[in-house]
Amino acid sequence: MTGIFRWTLIAVTLLLLSGAFLAQPDSRTSQDQSVLHSALLGSEIASDIRSGRPLDYDNVTITGLVDLRGLADPVALPLTITNSRFLGPIIFEGATFNEPVDLRGSVFQGNVSFAKVRFQDDAKFAGARFLGQADYENAVFTGLASFMSTRFFNDTSFGNVQFDGDAIFMQSGFARDVDYNFAQFARLASFEMAYFNNVSFLETQFSGHTSFRAVRFAGNATFAATNFQSDVVFRGATFDRGSTFGLSGFGGLADFGNVVFRETAYFGGVKFTDLAYFVNAMFNRGLILEDSRLYSMQLDNATFGKDALINLNGADFTKFVVRWDAIKDRMVYDGAAYLALVKNYKNLEWFDDADNCYYQYRRIGQDQAPWGWSKISDIVSWISCGYGVRVSYTAVCCLLTILLFGVIFWAGKGMNKFEIEGMELPGNPTMRPSQRVSLTDALYFSIAMFTTSQAPVNTYQVGVYRHLAMLEGIMGWFFLGLFVVVLSAVLIR
């Protein structure tokens, strides 16, 4: 009985081993079929699209060229190939997709052309990687265009692209040159926290809200003749190299708060029709606003590099909010710009800033003027009253004049004292004192001549000092009148 059990157990064991051995080829065949299923030919993909078959793949590898050129009819079914790898080039040029296109997370190793493609529904490229050149020139995105966290490692073109829906490029990265020249953004355009090397937005149209918040522009950034019809936000962005906004138009709020311009920020010929907000911005090399039109520009707490200059030549502005002390040593001289700033500061009721700005304007103009009567009169105006804005200059001139003439009268013995006795006339040798008049008496005499043009009753000048006394009286009337005028101008405002 024990022997029968033993042989039965052996037979069952052999049967199980043989079953396991026979099952191995089936498992290997299943794995091979899975590998074959994950590797597709580009020609097969193109053929399926042309024949109208639905495509829904994830995590596949596509080899060879995918070519849809000459596609006569629009693609009427959704195209979904996500988290996949395209080893060859892709040419979808001129195709029309009526349904959503979803290529999220895919890697494109070859060159890609979506030129003149019409995306009639949403187009999703979020998280995709383009290792070769990517060409979207003249494409049309009717629905959502999503390029969030997409990476472009080679030259890319979105030239003349029409974005009718929202365009999302948040956290996207462009390692090489990219252009959006003549592109049109009809709705929201978001480039928040994106990275650009060299980028060009020549004559680009932004109709909706636009955001470049916290964007890093590592190379040259060109926004020449760009039109922002609504609000645009550059807050926290960094421009490492040249930044050009020449001839651009800003129809809404332009927020450049906390922006860093490491090279010269060029805004020549720009038109701001709403608030231009540059609070806490940093201009390392300078700010050019030549021939610009500014409605209201705020530069509060802006910082400037050591050699940074501000060019307002030909600029026309209604409100320019920045303290004179922050820009006084950085202004490129232009008479009209200085006078416009003076008027601006008066409108802001920053009268000290207005005076300081006007003073520097006159001082620089005097230094640059050739010698002549005009320059001499400017020098007199500068010394006597600080061009009409320094009442302290006039007060100092008054004191110095009194002191100077007093010392001259005292040192030169140009005055005498006498005591009035009966009807004797001054000048009688018997009445002349035997000792020099004191310096205190000389200063007292100088004050009297300066303020009233009349000597004290017991003091008189002698010789040529009579003419000096007359000259001091004339100067006294001049300086006192000037002091009243300048002081009144300060007090009235």
pLDDT tens digit string along 196-248?
A: 999 999 999 999 999 999 999 999 999 999 999 999 999 999 999 999 999 99
* Distance between CA atoms of residues 417 and 401, nearest Å: 22
Torsion of CA 34, 36, 41, 45, to 10 degrees: -40
What tokens does 180 get?
């959006």
State the average pLDDT over residues 443-468: 78
Q: Are strands 459-461 and 415-417 parallel, antiparallel or unpaired?
A: antiparallel
State the average pLDDT over residues 318-322: 93
Which of 131-140, 262-271, 437-446 has the lowest average pLDDT? 437-446
Looking at the DSSP bridge assignments, the partners of residue 461 are 415
Q: In the prediction, which pLDDT does 391 show?
A: 87
Q: Is the pLDDT of residue 341 over 90?
A: yes
Contact 468/442 with Cβ under 8 angstroms?
no
State the average pLDDT over residues 52-74: 92
* Distance between CA atoms of residues 464 and 236, nearest Å: 74
CATH number attached to the domain at 391-492: 1.10.287
What tokens does 212 get?
């470049």
Residue 6 binned pLDDT confidence (cut-offs 50, 70, 90): low
- For the whole model, what pTM was predicted? 0.80
Residue 156 binned pLDDT confidence (cut-offs 50, 70, 90): very high
Q: Is 160 left (phi over 0), alpha (psi -120 to 50) or beta?
A: left
Q: What is the DSSP letter of 423?
A: T
What tokens does 470 get?
């007359």
Q: In the prediction, which pLDDT does 114 show?
A: 97
Higher-confidence position of 221 and 430: 221
Residue 18 binned pLDDT confidence (cut-offs 50, 70, 90): very low
Q: Delimit the domains of the chain by residue range.
A: 49-183, 191-368, 391-492
Token pair 């820009």 is found at 327
Q: How many CB atoms lie within 10 A of CB 52?
A: 10
Which of 14-28, 163-177, 194-208 has the lowest average pLDDT? 14-28
State the average pLDDT over residues 365-386: 87
Q: Is the pLDDT of residue 331 over 90?
A: yes
